[in-house]
Structure 1
Amino acid sequence: MTAVPLKNDTLLRALLREPVPYTPVWLMRQAGRYLPEYNQTRARAGSFLALAQNHEYACEVTLQPLQRFDLDAAILFSDILTIPHAMGLGLDFHAGEGPRFAHPVRSEEDVRRLRVPDMDALRYVFDTVALVRRELAGKVPLIGFAGSPWTVACYMIEGQGSKDYQLIKSMLYGRPDLLHRVLEINAQAATQYLNAQIQAGAQAVMLFDSWGGVLAHGKYQAFSLAYIRKVIQGLIRENEGRRVPCIVFTKGGGPWVEDIAGCGGDAIGLDWTVRLSDVRHRVQDSVALQGNLDPMCMFGGEAAIRDEVRRVIDDFGMVGDGGHVFNFGHGISRFTAPEAVATLVDEVHAYSRTKHAHAAE
């Protein structure tokens, strides 16, 4: 595709710890059920999967938050489970229950049959990326994403969401050889998947390791981070004449930020259980930081939202050299009022401009 110059590249510069005039902001799940227009589009599509697999609908909902809010990035509307669905595991979304696989990976034979899917089976995702880039016309960058090999494996083996991860942890402790094979296949698939998104036009990418935090120390490094590192090592890191930043987000990963900072990514996503200032010190400003507002603060009213935004920005500290992307510490709640999001974005931009201006003096 012919690259259109970015009108707003603040996010990309912040991810690379370059000087920026303010702290950029985007939100995990920013295209989602808290927006009435999203729910209307999803109803027209008929189901979540039909919405995600139709590149025109998926483009529409990707762009909806940017039509309401002055966000600094779009994030592709898709799901982390598109890869195992393309492997033939039979993904479906049950109302009120979340994703389920008809054919979970449980036995040695199940593992033996696993293959990296043909990326043509995921063409609808790459078509969405290309269409979003055209529709954005350089307004803000587009973030692509994939689930981490471990997190995707959790769903593949459990068959759905889990409270105790008994099935995958039984494999981890009882047949680690089988789990390593699953993770290796997932890592290869995620690498190809993200590279295809980059080639289609994604200008930054993110690995969502939503369940890395359920692992014991040592097991996290061996069964999650090692495979995140493999994915990053295989990524296209420059496209359209500039670096493609990579963000790594492990929910509950606070104990291991030093290890995460060394895995090859440009930025670490952080949940609300850690202090940004502490993490900056621990990683010695070697990577950018993303986060880390508790999304539940959005129900506390305007004053609370503005106070919490300022607290997060103040906690990060001196910002003259960039390195901070404002976000939640996990996805936005579906019950959040759009007006609360407008307040948050306004406060991030207004307050951070005063801090950046001071840092530049």
Structure 2
Amino acid sequence: MSRFEPDAAILFSDILIVPYGLGMAVDFVEGRGPVLDAISDSSDIKRLKPEQYKARIEATYETVRLCRDKLSLDKALIGFAGSPWTVATYMIEGGASKNYAKVKSWAYRDDQSFNTLIKIVTRATIDHLSAQIDHGADAVKLFDSWAGVLSPSQFEKWVIKPTREIVDSINLKHPTVKIIGFPKGAGHQYIDYVNKTGVDAVAIDTSVNPSWAAKVLDKKVVIQGNMDPISLLVGGEPMLNQACSIISNMKERPHVFNLGHGVLPETPPENVEALAKFLRNLGEG
């Protein structure tokens, strides 16, 4: 924060904190990524322990409080969580997946029991975000990293509907807190996501043309994004040209400049510094 001086900080704890809180074993294996003791059918749902949820992840909220205390009052703290669909993919696949065959098959074959699982995850996500707000988060963001693998009808069921429930619940308890949604890979379904979920802002991924997004998405909703992380990695003129293009496309509507996905670990800090300085100079101009 002191080096790059952004307007906000986001506290990352892995999105799999929710399955862990629900009683699942979660491990991270080098070269493989997250590994969970997968839920394979409806009977396995009984293994989840929502009643133990808060006790298992209480330390996360103390970290939120400590971060808020360290930030100056003019810097926002953004809390976050994985969206129910994306979290459920890991719970059923047992980790990362190439085709999401297990989770999608279950959703098609027995949507009633799959909905039971989604409801449990949705409730836990509401509690998780609400606790972050109680401990100092000024806004929250929902990451639906695998929203783009769903058909339109499944997108409606497993992305839009749970997100709407989360938004309504957070708005009821924390009416001044803004909610950002990120249905990565949603393509034209970004339109329905914005129109139906009630989010205050939508993050768009790198594949989305910012000109299209600026024209078709509800003007009352803030757009966040969507520089290619590779552009930031490369730096220099390609990075600044893309930044200018995004800002130019968004000049007639509310916009938060951001990447279309996470910063790559090998990104030179000097590139981040140069981009931050460039954006500040634009803002001051």
Provide the TM-score with structure 2 as the length reference.
0.94
**Cα deviation 1:100-134 (Å, max 9, x = unaligned):** 11x21112210233343431221111101111111
Distance in 2 between residues matched to 1:215 and 1:108, nearest whole Å: 21
Letter aligned with residue 260 of structure 1: Y
Letter aligned with residue 339 of structure 1: E
Aligned to 1:260: 193
Aligned to 2:180: 247
Work out which of the residue numbers 52, 63, 70 in structure 2 matches 1:135.
70
Matched, 1:350 2:285: no
Matched, 1:299 2:233: yes
Give percent identity, aligned residues only: 36
For the Cα contact (< 8 Å) 2:224–2:257, is it kept in 1? yes
**Can you give the 5+ residue segments of structure 1 that lack an aligned partner in the other structure?**
1-65, 355-361
Aligned to 2:137: 202
Aligned to 1:31: none
**Cα deviation 1:234-279 (Å, max 9, x = unaligned):** 115675xx82110000111221122111211100000122222322
Letter aligned with residue 150 of structure 1: W
For the Cα contact (< 8 Å) 1:114–1:182, is it kept in 2? no
Aligned to 1:99: 34
Letter aligned with residue 163 of structure 2: I
For the Cα contact (< 8 Å) 2:22–2:49, is it kept in 1? yes
Matched, 1:288 2:222: yes
Distance in 1 between residues matched to 2:135 and 2:59, nearest whole Å: 11
Distance in 1 between residues matched to 2:238 and 2:187, nearest whole Å: 25
Q: Which stretches of structure 1, 4 residues or more, deviate above 4 A after TM superposition? A: 236-239
Distance in 1 between residues matched to 2:85 and 2:71, nearest whole Å: 32
Aligned 1:168-207 pairs, distance under 5 A: 168-207=103-142
For the Cα contact (< 8 Å) 1:146–1:194, is it kept in 2? yes
Distance in 2 between residues matched to 1:163 and 1:341, nearest whole Å: 31
Aligned to 1:312: 246
Considering Cα pairs closer than 8 Å and 6+ residues apart, tell me whether 1 or 2 has the greater RCO. Answer: 1
Aligned to 1:161: 96
CA RMSD of aligned residues (A): 1.6
Distance in 2 between residues matched to 1:206 and 1:338, nearest whole Å: 24
Aligned 1:1-361 pairs, distance under 5 A: 66-101=1-36, 103-116=37-50, 117-236=52-171, 243-262=176-195, 263-318=197-252, 323-354=254-285
Aligned to 1:4: none
Structure 2 residue matching 1:104: 3-state secondary structure: coil
Provide the TM-score with structure 1 as the length reference.
0.75
How many residues were matched structurally? Answer: 283
Letter aligned with residue 159 of structure 1: G
**Can you give the 5+ residue segments of structure 2 that lack an aligned partner in the other structure?**
none
Q: CA deviation at 1:351?
A: 2.4
**Cα deviation 1:159-196 (Å, max 9, x = unaligned):** 10111001101101112122111111010000011011
**Cα deviation 1:295-323 (Å, max 9, x = unaligned):** 1112333111111111110111235xxx1
Distance in 1 between residues matched to 2:132 and 2:88, nearest whole Å: 21
Distance in 2 between residues matched to 1:77 and 1:300, nearest whole Å: 24
Moved more, 287-296 or 110-119: 110-119
Aligned to 1:5: none
Moved more, 104-113 or 247-256: 104-113
Distance in 2 between residues matched to 1:177 and 1:147, nearest whole Å: 22
Q: CA deviation at 1:98?
A: 1.3
Q: CA deviation at 1:286?
A: 2.4
Moved more, 186-195 or 111-120: 111-120
